[in-house]
DNA sequence: TCTGGGGTCCTAGGACCC
DNA sequence: TCTGGGGTCCTAGGACCC
């Protein structure tokens, strides 16, 4: 049966969410900022036209934003998460299989759609998403994921396609690929792009037609070879539907330089508690945790960064056990006298909670009852909070 | 003063075993 | 004494993604 892939991607997603609750910002330049309002993590085409780029440090472009009336928002992930759910649910009613790839993207597989006009089908799906959620999306249709990404990117850059680009036609695909920079190919980052340029290639078409297999293997390794194969129309990356998580990371930057050990300790307790809750939500237990802390690499001050790991005798998702381990690790690596900027906790080596290997003396069963209670209370508090009127999101403009 | 947070996959290299 | 290849496991770190 003919398998066709598609990628649905929400345009300037975080900004679009802010526009949903502030419709008057349609057509206005909007940016959304990271934690502590550090840098730009989402921006609209109108903001892009003013010269603002993804990742720009906000304090450096603040004057520009004020001058041009750019609307800047702190990020509110609860809003983005719920908007994302709504979009994904609509998509799910249109296809038998989808992979939610990120908060604003989903890969789709069309199987048994041989007699459908997929471009028209996707256009109507797009219209429905827009109508029900006010979120504009772009859709790329292709024989595999890398090409679906490429088609999607082309749809974003060329509004005349009305949000849907289909590159299944080989002649049209060649034409698009000949104008598509290697830097923009999914999976090719800065380092790899530099190498590819050094090998004399500029476009996706150049990479597809590059014949020296040994050089590809030597310099671009397995990922490079797979991307080249997909550019040639083969399928290397299949759809992965809701794979369980393999690691959970919780980290934050401080909004100031931190010297005090107590303050780092408190942050690590918070992060560990948060991570443990996420782990239980996944229905998993972990065998290994690492913590890390580091100074501010953008400063001229003395630099220090260190991580340490802890391996549990029997896997756990118990907050108390995890926090105890985190504190022990912290004492191993914390050094007096440095100005710390960030710390974090990572949990990995998971197994399903109901299959865990218990050691002889483990009391995990009684503990997990306590943990369940804690999570219920947390949920209750969340739902209570969400009913309260939220203070307006700080608007930095 | 001010530079995000959360993930996955791959490779290299060391330790250890036969 | 000690030469060698191969396999496996583990860890660190790079690169990439959104």
- Count of other CB atoms within 10 angstroms of residue A102: 10
A:106-135 Cβ neighbours of strand B under 7 Å: none
Is the shortest CB-to-strand distance from A219 to strand C under 7 Å? no
Pairing of strands A71-74, A30-33: parallel
- Return d(Cα A19, Cα A262) in angstroms, integer: 40
Is the shortest CB-to-strand distance from A144 to strand C under 7 Å? no
In angstroms, the CA of A187 and the C1' of C2 are apart by: 47
User: What is the Cα gyration radius of chain A?
Assistant: 24
DSSP-assigned beta bridge partners for residue A350:
A286
Is the shortest CB-to-strand distance from A146 to strand C under 7 Å? no
Is the shortest CB-to-strand distance from A71 to strand C under 7 Å? no
| Sheet (strand A284-295) strand order | A247-258, A340-352, A284-295, A305-316
Q: Which nucleotide is nearest to A222 (CA to C1')?
A: B10
Nucleotides of B under 7 A from a protein CB: 1-11
Q: Between A364-387 and A319-333, two packed helices, what is the crossing angle to 10 degrees? A: 90
DSSP secondary-structure letter at A220?
I
- Count of other CB atoms within 10 angstroms of residue A232: 14
pLDDT score at A158: 96
Which residues in chain A come in under a pLDDT of 70?
Answer: 1, 357-366, 382-397
Is the shortest CB-to-strand distance from A296 to strand B under 7 Å? yes
β strands within chain A, DSSP E? 3-10, 30-33, 40-43, 71-74, 97-102, 105-111, 137-142, 164-166, 247-258, 284-295, 305-316, 340-352
Is the shortest CB-to-strand distance from A41 to strand B under 7 Å? yes
- Return d(Cα A384, Cα A177) in angstroms, integer: 51
Is the shortest CB-to-strand distance from A12 to strand B under 7 Å? no
Is the shortest CB-to-strand distance from A36 to strand B under 7 Å? yes
pLDDT score at A141: 98
- Return d(Cα A325, Cα A316) in angstroms, integer: 11
Contacts (Cβ under 8 Å, ≥6 apart) of A278? A248, A250
In angstroms, the CA of A43 and the C1' of C11 are apart by: 39
Protein residue closest via CA to C1' of C11 = A309
CA distances for A240 relative to A100, A106, A109, A159, A243, angstroms:
9, 11, 11, 30, 6
Tell me the three state secondary structure of residue A168: coil
pLDDT score at A366: 66
- The structure's pTM equals 0.88
In angstroms, the CA of A55 and the C1' of C18 are apart by: 13
In angstroms, the CA of A67 and the C1' of B8 are apart by: 41
Q: Which nucleotide is nearest to A218 (CA to C1')?
A: B11
pLDDT score at A362: 58
Pairing of strands A247-258, A164-166: unpaired
Per DSSP, the residues of A18-34 read: HHHH-GGGTTS-EEEE-
- Return d(Cα A153, Cα A292) in angstroms, integer: 36
Determine contact, residues A45/A158, Cβ cutoff 8 Å. no
Tokens in use for A377? 């209370």
In angstroms, the CA of A312 and the C1' of C7 are apart by: 28
DSSP-assigned beta bridge partners for residue A4:
A110
């Amino acid at each position: 049966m003919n398998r066709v892939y598609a990628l649905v991607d929400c345009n300037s997603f975080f900004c679009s969410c802010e526009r949903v609750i502030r419709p008057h910002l349609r057509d206005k330049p909007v940016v959304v900022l990271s934690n502590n309002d550090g840098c730009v993590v989402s921006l609209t085409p109108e903001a892009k036209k003013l010269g603002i780029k993804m990742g720009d440090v906000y304090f450096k472009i603040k004057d520009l934003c004020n001058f041009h009336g750019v609307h800047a928002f702190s990020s509110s992930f609860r809003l983005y998460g719920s908007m994302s759910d709504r979009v994904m649910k609509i998509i799910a009613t249109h296809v038998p299989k989808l992979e939610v790839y990120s908060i604003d993207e989903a890969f789709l597989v069309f199987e048994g759609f041989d007699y459908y006009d997929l471009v028209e089908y996707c256009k109507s799906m797009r219209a429905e998403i827009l109508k029900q959620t006010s979120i504009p999306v772009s859709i790329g249709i292709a024989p595999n994921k890398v090409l679906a990404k490429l088609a999607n990117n082309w749809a974003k850059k060329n509004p005349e396609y009305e949000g849907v680009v289909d590159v299944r036609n080989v002649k049209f695909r060649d034409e698009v690929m000949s104008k598509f920079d290697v830097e923009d190919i999914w999976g090719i980052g800065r380092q790899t792009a530099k190498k590819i340029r050094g090998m004399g290639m500029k476009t996706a078409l150049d990479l597809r037609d590059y014949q020296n297999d040994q050089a590809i293997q030597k310099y671009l390794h397995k990922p490079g070879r797979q991307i080249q194969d997909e550019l040639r129309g083969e399928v290397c990356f299949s759809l992965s539907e809701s794979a369980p998580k393999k690691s959970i990371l919780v980290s934050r930057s401080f909004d100031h330089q931190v010297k005090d050990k107590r303050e780092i300790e408190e942050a690590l307790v918070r992060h560990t508690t948060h991570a443990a809750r996420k782990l239980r939500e996944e229905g998993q237990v972990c065998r290994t945790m690492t913590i890390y802390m580091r100074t501010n690499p953008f400063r001229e001050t003395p630099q220090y960064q260190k991580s340490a790991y802890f391996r549990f005798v029997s896997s756990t998702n118990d907050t108390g056990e995890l926090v105890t381990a985190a504190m022990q690790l912290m004492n191993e690596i914390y050094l007096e006298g440095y100005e710390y900027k960030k710390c974090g906790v990572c949990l990995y080596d998971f197994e399903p909670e109901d299959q865990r290997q218990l050691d002889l003396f483990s009391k995990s069963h009684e503990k997990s009852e306590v943990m369940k209670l804690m999570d219920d209370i947390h949920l209750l508090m969340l739902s209570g909070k969400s009913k309260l009127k939220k203070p307006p999101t700080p608007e930095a403009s």
